Amino acid sequence: MELQIDRDEFQQALYRAQGIVEKKSTMPILASVLLEAATGEKGGTLRVSAFDLEIGVSGVHPAEVKKAGSVALKHKELYDIVRSLPDKTVSLKREANNRVQISSGTATFNLVGQPAEEYPQFPRADKVALVAIEPTQLLEMIEKTQFAISADETRHNLNGVYLEGGAGKLKMVATDGHRLALCDRETPGDFALKKGVIVPKKGLFELRRLLDEASTAPCELGFNETSGVFRRGELTMVMRLIDGSFPDYAQVIPKEAERIVTVERSRFLEVLKLITVISSDRATNPVRLELSEGTLKVTSQNPDLGDAKEEIAVEYSGTPLSIGFNARYLMDVLNVIDTPQVKLELCDELSPGVLKPSGPDARYTAVIMPMRI
C-alpha cells in the first residue's frame, strides 16, 4: 500500500472514528482503524473504517494511490500524528510486517500496524431500504429527546431512543422513568417499520456528530429488525439496534390537564437557574412551583444556607396548586424548546407535569414526574 492524501481530509476521517474505536477492550484491534487503499481512474481512494462490533463508520476519501493495499493502525496515535503534521499532504507506505511509514514535509513516523484480515468485518448495509430525510430535522429530533435517555445500564431497553416511522411520519421518544420526551415530525419518505426500533445512545450520539458536521448535505436513514443505517454520499454508519421492548409511552402522557399555564420560556429558565443556586441537592435540584392566578412562584430551600423565591407573571386564571419538581429536568426541556412561550399543563401535586411549546405547530411533548418536597 502506498498513497498520498490531503491532511485535512485524512484528519476529518480519523475524527469521525474517535468516538467509536474501543480504547479498553478484550480485542486490542478494536482500538485501530482499518485503512483500505484502492486504485481508480481519478487516482484512487482511501477507505477509513472504525467498528466496535456494535457501531461502525466507514468513509471513502480521494487519494493519489500508487499501490493498493490495506492495514489496521492504532487510532489514537495515528490521529494525534496526522493533526500535528506540518504539511498539507500526508504520505503513507506499508512496508514489511505491516509497518507503515507516515511522512509529511520533513517529518517521518514509522508505526506498527496489524493485518487487515484480523480486523472485524464491517457489517453490510445493502439490504436496508434507505429513506431520504432532512438532516436539520433529524438533528433537531435527536437534540429534543436525547437528554431523557436513561443512564441506568440495567434497563437496557431505555438506553436509547425509541423510533417509530410510517408513511410521512417520524416519531422519537426517550424516557428514564422519571421524565419523557417525545418529538413528532412529518417526513416525505416511508420507513415502513412494522414496529418501533430502539436506537442505542452511543449510536445516536455518533449520528448527531455526523449530522453536525454537514447539517445541510443530503442524507438517508433506514432500518431493519436488527440494524440502523445512515448514509451521506460516500459515508456510511451502521449500528446494532437494542433488542428489547420499549414501554407504552402513550400511557405515561396525561390525556387532559386541569390547569394550563402559559409562561415566557426564557424568563422561566432564568428563574430556575437563579433559584437552584442554593439547592441542597445538586443531583435533583428540588424546587416548588406555587401556582395562583396570574403568578407562578418558584421556591427552593436549603437547611444549611436558607431559602430563595422568585415570581413569574403567567397566563393562568384557575385554582391554586403547589407542586415539586426536579429543576434540572425542567431546564433540560426549556433549553431545547425554541418558541418564546411554553405551556405547562398540570393536574394535581401527585400527577406528572407536561411541557409543550406554545403555538399552532407544537408537536413536542415533555412529561416530568413530580417530587415530594
17 lies in some domain = yes
Q: What is the largest CA-CA distance in the chain?
A: 81
Share of the chain above pLDDT 90, in %: 79
CATH code of residue 190: 3.10.150.10
- The DSSP call for residue 340 is S
Per-residue pLDDT of 342-365, as tens digits, reads 999 999 999 999 999 998 667 899
125 lies in some domain = no
Q: Are residues 149 and 226 in the same domain?
A: yes
141 lies in some domain = yes
Among residues 250, 268, 286, the one where a domain terminates is: 250
pLDDT given for residue 361 in this prediction: 65
Return d(Cα 214, Cα 19) in angstroms, integer.
17
Q: Are residues 294 and 332 in the same domain?
A: yes
Domain that holds residue 88: 2-118
C-alpha dist (Å) from residue 368 to 212, 258, 316: 28, 16, 20
Q: Are residues 6 and 86 in the same domain?
A: yes
Among residues 64, 86, 118, the one where a domain terminates is: 118
Q: What stretches in the chain show pLDDT beneath 70?
A: 280, 360-361
Return d(Cα 148, Cα 146) in angstroms, integer.
5
Among residues 73, 92, 118, the one where a domain terminates is: 118
pLDDT given for residue 198 in this prediction: 96
Helices 75-82 + 7-17 axis angle, to 10 = 150
Q: Are residues 143 and 244 in the same domain?
A: yes
65 lies in some domain = yes
373 lies in some domain = no
Return d(Cα 42, Cα 166) in angstroms, integer.
41
What is the pTM for the complete model shown?
0.90
Number of domains in the chain: 3
Q: Are residues 243 and 135 in the same domain?
A: yes
